Amino acid sequence: MERPGSGAKRSYNQYCGLASALDILGERWTLLIIRELLMGPRRYSDLLVDLPGIGTNLLAERLKFLVDKGVVQQIDLKGTGSRLAYELAEPGESLRPIVLGLAHWGMDHVGDLSPADTVRPHWGFLAVEAMFQPEKASAIDESYEFRVDDQVFHVTVAGRVPRVGKGPADNPAMVAVTDAATFVQIGAGRLTPLIAMVSGRLTIEGDAEAVVRCCELLGIATGAMTAPSRAPSR
Amino acid sequence: MERPGSGAKRSYNQYCGLASALDILGERWTLLIIRELLMGPRRYSDLLVDLPGIGTNLLAERLKFLVDKGVVQQIDLKGTGSRLAYELAEPGESLRPIVLGLAHWGMDHVGDLSPADTVRPHWGFLAVEAMFQPEKASAIDESYEFRVDDQVFHVTVAGRVPRVGKGPADNPAMVAVTDAATFVQIGAGRLTPLIAMVSGRLTIEGDAEAVVRCCELLGIATGAMTAPSRAPSR
DNA sequence: CCGCATCCGAATAGATACTG
DNA sequence: CAGTATCTATTCGGATGCGG
């Protein structure tokens, strides 16, 4: 066991659920891989593109490890043989609320957008799911559509229960069009929708009241508009 | 203060909530430090004892970093000057559901108890909080007491709302006495209460029906046992 | 002692070249 | 395309030092 690369994985050696979870998920890049897979199956090369800096060996090793632990599984996308991809197995899928919780927490800690930062429009989908405050869902049934660069997704509120989905909304009460960086900045509270619109980075169409309800649902400050003045919960 | 010569901190450089969260929490030991602080303030030396293997420099560095990020704060325990400790600031406290979620997830992945594993009785407190399935709370108001080695804590159900607390329960419907390793093994489903009792590692006193309700609440199988056939590769 | 800071061998991560 | 193999750069872990 002295030989380097002999495979004895590092462990916290604590008989505790959290330590066991971190023995599987705690290494660098692992939870970001899970994040990508939360938005559907991905191929090896897709992951490389959306995780800049990971390095091919690390990605391969992490994937192999996660498959071995039953968190991720390989699937055959189309036809036999080639075109295979990775997707979450059930234990991986059950990480969704945890990863979204972390993403929500981290929203309060995103810094200024630096030129070194990468942004991906499909992260907007995750951001919406993470920002959700279901208890703030309006009593009115309606849906909102988001177009973040080339990604389109929507939120539908029905009977005070909000849900996110891919693709365009059916008869949306609001349509917001923006780029990925602006989207995240608004979600993080570092930019108000107002400023984003004035500076031409955000376009909103639809009913003004619906816009307010949508912002409420996502915990976005509307910028001292009408309505009850609510203390920022931060 | 920045240290000019020796590198800036490593970051994923992704403009995304999850990546930002992991830039703060994703390094080795960090979430285990948070776990300890979730159960109250701790001194530097306490943390060293309950995180075997961390190394003194790492602990100091992590704590400094977390204080710098506003997740943790230093407090003055008794009197002035010495006897200072670390406790979670509000952003750290808001990690509780996330850490508990991870702990719950990890419960399905704890392996066999190895001689190399450390166990701490106060982790039982965390385990109970993590295993909670509030929607399974019984309609009957009652409380259960747990004595895990030298730690005593309890669960109180009132109006279908369960809560965990330190110290003995007031007029408990059930009292369970065990050691930390057995406690975790039962919570992880690797050992049934029945087997634990027969082998003398667990003592339960109280109403049999209350015991069943308590197990329900914590998601513990009461029925005929079958040895878990899961074999985690280590 | 307690609360770190420093130093160093060992284990991981990152970058790049290469292969079926 | 989907990874290995290899090499270098960082980080970790453990021992030790040191001021209060």
At B76 the pLDDT is: 83
- Span B131-143, average pLDDT: 94
Residue partners of A50: CB distance under 8 A and separation at least 6? A36, A42, A120, A122
Do B100 and B69 lie in a common domain? no
pLDDT tens for A58-70 read 999 999 999 999 9
Residue nearest to nucleotide D15 (CA to C1'): B55
Mean pLDDT of chain A: 91
B109/A20 touch (CB, cutoff 8 Å), yes or no? yes
A220 or B8: which leads in pLDDT: A220
Choose one of A94, A110, A137: the last residue of a domain: A94
CB pairs < 8 Å spanning A and B: 181
How close does chain A come to B127, measured CA to CA in Å?
7
Tell me if chain B has a CB within 8 Å of the CB of A49: no
Model confidence, pTM: 0.92
Q: What is the pLDDT of residues B68-114, one digit of tens each?
A: 999 999 998 765 556 789 999 999 999 999 999 999 999 999 999 99
Select from A36, A63, A94 the last residue of a domain.
Answer: A94
Clarify whether residues A26 and A127 are in a common domain: no
Among all chains, which residue has been given the structure tokens 């995103």? A110
When pLDDT is cut at 50, 70 and 90, the band that residue B4 belongs to is very low
Residue B159 falls within a domain, yes or no? yes
- Residue B134 counted as domain residue: yes
Would you say A71 and A30 are in contact if contact means Cβ atoms under 8 Å apart?
no
Is A188 contained in some domain?
yes
Q: What is the Cα–Cα distance from B79 to B35, expressed in whole angstroms? A: 26
Nearest CA in chain B to A189: B17
Q: Under a CB-based contact definition with an 8 Å cutoff, are residues B62 and B30 in contact? A: yes
Cα–Cα distance, A213 to A37 (Å, whole number): 30
Q: Is B110 on the interface with A (CB under 8 A)?
A: yes
Residues B134, B130: Cα–Cα separation, whole Å: 11
* Interval B148-181: pLDDT, tens: 999 999 999 999 999 999 999 999 999 999 999 9
B81 touches strand D (CB under 7 A): no
- Confirm whether B3 is domain-assigned: no
* Per-residue pLDDT reduced to its tens digit, A124-140: 999 999 999 999 999 99
Q: Tens digits of per-residue pLDDT, B173-220?
A: 999 999 999 999 999 999 999 999 999 999 999 999 999 999 999 999
Pick the more confident residue, B82 or A206. A206
Contact B14 A98 (CB under 8 A): no
The stretches of A52-95 forming alpha helices (DSSP H) are 56-68, 90-93
pLDDT of residue A226: 52
Same domain for B146 and B195, yes or no, is: yes
Residue B160, in any domain of the structure: yes
- Burial, B223: exposed, middle or buried (Cβ in 10 Å; 0-12, 13-18, 19+)? exposed
Residue A11 placed within a domain: no
Out of A176-185, A200-209, A219-228, which region has the weakest mean confidence (pLDDT)? A219-228
Strand D: positions under 7 A of a protein C-beta atom: 1-6, 10-17
pLDDT of residue B77: 73
Name which of A95, A38, A86 is nearest A64 in CA terms.
A86
pLDDT tens-digit map of B23-78 = 999 999 999 999 999 999 999 999 999 999 999 999 999 999 999 999 999 998 76
Full residue range of the structural domain in which residue B214 is found = 96-234
| A114 and A193 fall within a common domain | yes
A117 shares a domain with A30: no
User: What per-residue confidence (pLDDT) applies to A83?
Assistant: 74
- Among B94, B121, B146, the domain boundary falls at B94
Please report, as a single letter, which amino acid is at residue A220.
I
Considering only CA atoms, which residue is closest to the C1' of nucleotide D3? Answer: A60
Shared domain check, B218 and B142? yes
Contact assessment for residue A173 and residue A203, using Cβ atoms and an 8 Å cutoff: no
Residues of B in contact with A52 (CB under 8 A): 13
Tell whether the model's pLDDT for residue A223 goes beyond 80: no
* pLDDT for residue A2: 40
